[in-house]
């Protein structure tokens, strides 16, 4: 553990005392997998302490949400996965903020023994950025909340399993192909509690829930040349490799496929990628650490995916379709009927994502010098625009040197989701800042991480927002190319653990 991490954990201990002393807690959290897992950790902590608690889910922090939060000034407010960007709106409240988004910089801060603190003494702010720790790769909101939970009571270490699901849901392992930094400390706890196993396997999504040919056809990260996005190609490949991929009249999943057959598939894909001249770094990313979750609190149910990525997608689907309690209950270990509803939401989610991607590809993306954009208007649920932007950014159908921006109408406004990639961040992209400035320039609000950010703006302001964002990104990339060569190189260096 390095000094920054020690200071972070010291701060979590100070916050744990505030939580233990509370008589009532109002929990607020975001609606994605990281938010729902974080909220469930806070809720479980309160239940175990015997403190009266309620949990509220927020799609975004708009004026109405701030008003709701402020109306709970009678009790301790525990915010998860939201809040760091807007602390000045909470002055005077008794509050814990456990977040990993870039904090509001204008907010007055004090520096004390190398630690950065808020001047506002009634707000306890646990955010890795304040300690010089990267919030989009080294720590999620769920792992932030987990550190508080563990400081409240060491027995809360069993919550490490669900904390990891949040980190994986936020793609925190994508940069190095495995969990690193503070997330890795949580992984160590989970390993010692026996609630996770780490196996080297392919990084394909859907190893437990997709038919084998669909797993290959839908793979965007990594892309399989000649197979991804080509219906029929995967089945032809499996047949040409002589793989028996059917069982009881249906296709096997990856997990059900014989180990030698899995090896055959991987070595074919690797050969194919080499012959297509794909960079070694990308080829290596096919296989890596994958995490199988065994939550000791959970009811037995064979249908529950144990792969952390699939677990997270299930929670995400609950959030995207506003079934927050279903997501929360899954995180608390309920299965049975709760799982029935979650699985049908997942089906609906997959259908919506597939149809929307098809629609966007058919229409094509608008092009500007540093970005490419699409607008789903009201033809898809607004909650999936970020998922679509993320998938497109990784697909071979878009220009990987440009940011992807997605718009969707949402409750009389426009929801904006922007996604970059590691390469662009390596050459200076900071979407959190660019999106915040562009949103504010058109009277909206925005923020997030350097690689992924979002905003809400008024209908009709899309083009002005794009013009401003294009300028901001161009400036960031120019500034970096003009800077002397530093440790911030474009190929990611694996951090020390
Ligand atoms: O609200 P929030 O932080 O949870 O949103 C995180 C989103 O950012 C993820 O859903 C993911 O799409 C994106 N992300 C990413 N790459 C990372 C970290 C996050 O694309 N390294
Ligand atoms: O909504 P989307 O998934 O695109 O959000 C990407 C990231 O930007 C998330 O981490 C989200 O919490 C953050 N965000 C923000 N402020 C907004 C909208 C999104 O910090 N107004």
39, 58, 416, 448: residue to mutate for ligand 2 pocket, most atoms within 8 A of CB: 448
Query: Which ligand has the minimum distance to the alpha carbon of residue 421?
Result: 1
Atom of ligand 1 nearest to the CA of 175: 21
CA-nearest of 435, 432, 471 to 456 is 435
Handedness of CA 145, 81, 114, 5 (dihedral sign): positive
How many Cα neighbours within 13 Å face the side chain of 450? 19
User: Along the 497 residues of the chain, how does pLDDT read in single tens digits?
Assistant: 898 999 999 999 999 999 999 999 999 999 999 999 999 999 999 999 999 999 999 998 888 999 999 999 999 999 999 998 888 889 889 999 999 998 876 444 444 554 445 555 788 999 999 898 999 899 999 999 999 999 999 999 999 999 999 999 999 998 888 999 999 999 999 999 999 999 999 888 889 888 999 999 888 777 788 888 787 899 999 999 999 899 888 999 999 999 999 999 999 999 988 998 888 877 888 888 999 999 999 999 999 999 999 999 999 999 999 999 999 999 999 999 999 999 999 999 988 998 999 999 999 999 999 999 999 999 999 999 999 999 999 887 899 999 999 999 999 999 999 999 989 999 999 999 999 999 999 999 999 899 999 999 999 999 999 999 999 999 999 987 666 544 443 444 555 44
Lining residues, ligand 2, CB within 6 Å: 60, 85, 101, 386, 417, 445-449, 452-456
Answer for the pair 466, 368: CB distance below 8 angstroms, yes or no: yes
312, 449, 450: residue to mutate for ligand 1 pocket, most atoms within 8 A of CB: 449
CA-nearest of 310, 375, 377 to 349 is 310
CA-nearest of 458, 383, 312 to 58 is 383
Q: What distance in angstroms lies between residue 454's CA and the mean position of ligand 2's atoms?
A: 4
Atom of ligand 2 nearest to the CA of 170: 10
CATH of domain 364-476: 3.10.310.40
Atom of ligand 1 nearest to the CA of 390: 12
Q: Whose CA is nearest to atom 1 of ligand 2?
A: 454
Q: What distance in angstroms lies between residue 66's CA and the mean position of ligand 1's atoms?
A: 23
The DSSP letter of residue 307 is B
* DSSP code per residue over 56-87: EEES---HHHHHHHHTTTTSEEEEESS-GGGG
168/201 Cα distance (integer angstroms): 15
Is 450 near ligand 1, meaning CB less than 6 Å away? no
pTM given for the model: 0.87
Answer for the pair 99, 117: CB distance below 8 angstroms, yes or no: no
Q: Whose CA is nearest to atom 19 of ligand 2?
A: 454
- Dihedral angle of Cα 260, 262, 264, 268, to the nearest 10 degrees: -170
Write the CB contacts of 473 (distance below 8 Å, at least 6 apart in sequence): 370, 371, 403, 429, 431, 434
Answer for the pair 115, 131: CB distance below 8 angstroms, yes or no: yes
Is 221 near ligand 1, meaning CB less than 6 Å away? no
473/466 Cα distance (integer angstroms): 10
Instruction: State residue 491's pLDDT score.
Output: 42
292/187 Cα distance (integer angstroms): 11
Atom of ligand 2 nearest to the CA of 445: 21
Q: What distance in angstroms lies between residue 413's CA and the mean position of ligand 1's atoms?
A: 22
Whole-angstrom CA distances from 401 to 146, 276, 277, 370 are 36, 20, 18, 8
Q: What residues does CATH 3.10.310.40 cover in the chain?
A: 364-476
The DSSP letter of residue 126 is E
Element (H, E) at 28: strand 24-30
CA-nearest of 6, 33, 55, 117 to 305 is 33
Atom of ligand 2 nearest to the CA of 418: 4
Alpha helices in 170-278 (DSSP H): 181-193, 212-217, 233-240, 259-275
Q: What distance in angstroms lies between residue 453's CA and the mean position of ligand 2's atoms?
A: 5
175/139 Cα distance (integer angstroms): 13
Helices 160-169 and 181-193 cross at an angle (nearest 10°) of 140
- Dihedral angle of Cα 222, 226, 227, 231, to the nearest 10 degrees: 140
Q: What distance in angstroms lies between residue 447's CA and the mean position of ligand 2's atoms?
A: 6
Instruction: State residue 6's pLDDT score.
Output: 94
Query: Which ligand has the minimum distance to the alpha carbon of residue 177?
Result: 1
95-99/403-410 β-pairing: unpaired
481/419 Cα distance (integer angstroms): 21
Q: What residues does CATH 3.90.1640.30 cover in the chain?
A: 3-164
Q: What are phi and psi of 323, to 5 degrees?
A: -100, 65
Answer for the pair 332, 40: CB distance below 8 angstroms, yes or no: yes
373/418 Cα distance (integer angstroms): 9
Angle at 223 between CA 219 and CA 228, to 5 degrees: 60
CA-nearest of 330, 412, 372, 467 to 62 is 412
Answer for the pair 24, 75: CB distance below 8 angstroms, yes or no: yes
3-164 belongs to which CATH class? alpha beta
Q: Whose CA is nearest to atom 20 of ligand 1?
A: 452
CA-nearest of 107, 160, 159 to 130 is 107
Is 136 near ligand 1, meaning CB less than 6 Å away? yes
């Amino acid at each position: 553990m390095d000094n920054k991490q020690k200071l972070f954990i010291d701060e979590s201990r100070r916050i744990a005392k505030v939580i233990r002393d509370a008589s009532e807690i109002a929990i607020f959290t975001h609606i994605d997998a990281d938010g729902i897992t974080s909220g469930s950790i806070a809720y479980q902590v309160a239940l175990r302490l015997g403190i009266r608690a309620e949990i509220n889910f927020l799609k975004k922090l708009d004026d109405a949400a701030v008003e709701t939060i402020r109306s709970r000034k009678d009790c301790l407010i525990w915010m998860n996965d939201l809040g760091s960007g807007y602390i000045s709106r909470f002055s005077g409240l008794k509050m814990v903020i456990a977040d990993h988004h870039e904090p509001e910089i204008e907010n007055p801060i004090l520096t004390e023994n190398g630690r950065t603190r808020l001047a506002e003494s009634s707000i306890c702010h646990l955010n890795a950025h304040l300690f010089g720790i990267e919030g989009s790769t080294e720590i999620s909101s769920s792992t932030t909340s987990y550190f508080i939970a563990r400081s409240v009571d060491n027995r809360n270490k069993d919550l490490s399993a669900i904390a990891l699901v949040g980190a994986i849901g936020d793609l925190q392992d994508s940069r190095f192909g495995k969990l690193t930094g503070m997330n890795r400390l949580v992984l160590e706890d989970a390993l010692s509690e026996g609630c996770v196993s780490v196996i080297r396997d392919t990084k394909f999504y859907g190893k437990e829930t997709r038919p084998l040919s669909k797993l290959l056809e839908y793979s965007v990260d990594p892309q399989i040349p000649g197979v991804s996005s080509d219906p029929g190609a995967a089945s032809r490949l499996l047949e040409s490799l002589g793989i028996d991929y059917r069982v009881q009249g249906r296709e096997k999943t990856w997990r059900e496929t014989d180990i030698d057959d899995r090896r055959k598939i991987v070595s074919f894909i690797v050969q194919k990628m080499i012959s297509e001249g794909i960079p070694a770094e990308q080829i290596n990313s096919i296989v890596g650490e994958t995490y199988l979750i065994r939550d000791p609190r959970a009811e037995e149910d064979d249908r529950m995916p144990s792969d952390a990525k699939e677990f997270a997608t299930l929670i995400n689907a609950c959030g995207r379709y506003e079934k927050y309690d279903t997501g929360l209950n899954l995180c608390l270990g309920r299965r049975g009927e709760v799982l029935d509803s979650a699985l049908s939401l997942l089906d609906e989610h997959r259908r919506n994502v597939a149809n929307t991607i098809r629609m966007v590809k058919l229409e094509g993306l608008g092009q500007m010098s540093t970005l490419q954009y699409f607008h789903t208007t009201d033809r898809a649920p607004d909650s999936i625009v970020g998922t679509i932007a993320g998938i497109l950014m990784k697909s071979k159908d878009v220009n990987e040197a440009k940011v992807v921006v997605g718009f969707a109408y949402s409750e009389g406004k426009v929801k904006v989701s922007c996604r970059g990639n590691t390469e662009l961040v390596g050459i200076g992209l900071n979407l959190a800042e660019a999106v915040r400035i562009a949103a504010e320039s058109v009277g909206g609000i925005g923020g997030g991480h350097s690689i992924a950010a979002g905003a809400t703006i008024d209908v009709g302001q899309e083009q002005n927002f794009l013009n401003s964002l294009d300028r901001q990104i161009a400036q960031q990339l120019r500034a970096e190319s003009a800077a002397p060569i530093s440790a911030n190189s474009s190929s990611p260096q694996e951090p020390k653990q």
